[in-house]
Amino acid sequence: MTSPSRPGAARRGFTLIELLVVIAIIAVLIALLLPAVQSAREAARRTQCVNNLKQLALAAHNYQDSNLCFPRGTYYMWGCIGGASGGRYKQASSWYMGLLNYMEAAQAVNAFNFSQHPFMAANSTVMGLGINSLWCPSDGGISSVIATSNPQGFLGSCTDGGTSANPAWRITRTSYGGNAGPLLGWTSSIQGIDADFSSRLTQCQGVINWYSATSIGAISDGTSNTFLIGEKNFSKLGQNYQQVWYEWFSGAYADSHFTTLFPLNSWRLMPQANLVTDAAVPGGGNATVAAAGSNHPGGANIAFCDGSVHFIKDTIGTWPYNLTNLLPNGVTYNGPVVGQLIYTVAPNTLYGVYQQLSTKAGGEVISADAY
């Protein structure tokens, strides 16, 4: 037999104020927990990025063991623009093509026609290959594929007379670039046509740049004090730049290299240079296109020539800039046409630690605690 309820007794629930207090406590706990979760996720992405760079550095050393030099830089070869309407010399394939045999991607090498320019139809299959180890997980959008009927203006071969690619070609990109050094040194054409061919190449102070074949012996600054491969930040590019740059198979500096002409994470430290057009920035492309950088808070991962990978803070010492002409103090160049640029560095111009780490034979003495 059940006991009768006492007179006046009622079942009591939560009041509105109590519910609001509980909800507020839960919200505070979530707010406290969310940054920790995001931080853990970023730590995992950064670890994967370090692993990618270690794989690339290991492949570069295996290449060096076989060829007695680090991956060769790009060069000029004939390419056709607008089908049969004409052509010109333009940069060939990137240094990545030399690494593929050492990255378990031999099928890509076998599919690539080295006698044809990388932007010709014969190589359209390789253009669209997605290689996971070339994508930093923190670099949003890097794994997306561009479909275009007119990649870089290169259409088919010299004899097909075509004006568009059908079906459209697929193009993939990379989050990493070879160290080209503090100056962008490249020729305007091949030797024998460019009268300044040799003098232009003296500007190439990095390990991977135009016509380079850098041996370990040539890195007199020491392999533990010289950049090899670093991050680039695709996600910070404007939409128009995302459509044309960071293509992994292309030897153009804005595709598969970085330069320390601009500071690390230039989009944050030098925003003036990231908003201007190609013609206004020495070397072409804005500073984000040319510079190293990442979405990892405070810096970027860079592999050194000894195979180690370090997180370089964007507070690292760099040379001071003139934010009017977007050049380092003491550095000038000779004209607005990209193919005709020759840089001049005034005597006693001071390289920052960041620039010193990008030269292979600058003669600097750098302490590890400087970066």
Name 198's Cβ contacts closer than 8 Å, sequence gap at least 6.
191
Residue 5 has pLDDT above 70, yes or no: no
Report the chain's C-alpha Rg in angstroms: 26
Distance CA(293)–CA(312), nearest Å, equals: 10
How confident is the model over 193-235, as pLDDT tens digits?
Answer: 888 888 888 889 999 999 999 999 999 999 999 999 999 999 9
Name 281's Cβ contacts closer than 8 Å, sequence gap at least 6.
273, 287, 290, 326
The residue with tokens 């070869």 is: 77
Q: Which residue has the higher pLDDT, 314 or 78?
A: 314
How confident is the model over 133-154, as pLDDT tens digits?
Answer: 999 999 989 999 888 776 555 5
pLDDT of residue 71: 96
Is the torsion defined by CA of 134, 139, 144, 149 positive or negative? Answer: negative
Q: Mean pLDDT across the stretch 160-181?
A: 80
Are the beta carbons of 288 and 295 closer than 8 angstroms? no
pLDDT of residue 268: 85
- How many Å separate Cα 117 from the centre of its chain? 22
DSSP calls for 135-202: --TTSTTTT--EEESSGGGB-S-TTT--SS-SSPEEE-B-SEEEE--SS----SSSBTTBTTHHHHHT
Q: Mean pLDDT across the stretch 147-162?
A: 55
Q: Mean pLDDT across the stretch 266-287?
A: 70
Q: Mean pLDDT across the stretch 106-116?
A: 88
Q: What average pLDDT does the structure give for the chain?
A: 84
Q: How far lies 182's CA from each of 52, 74, 301, in Å?
A: 24, 18, 18
Are the beta carbons of 206 and 256 closer than 8 angstroms? no
The letter for the amino acid at 27 is A
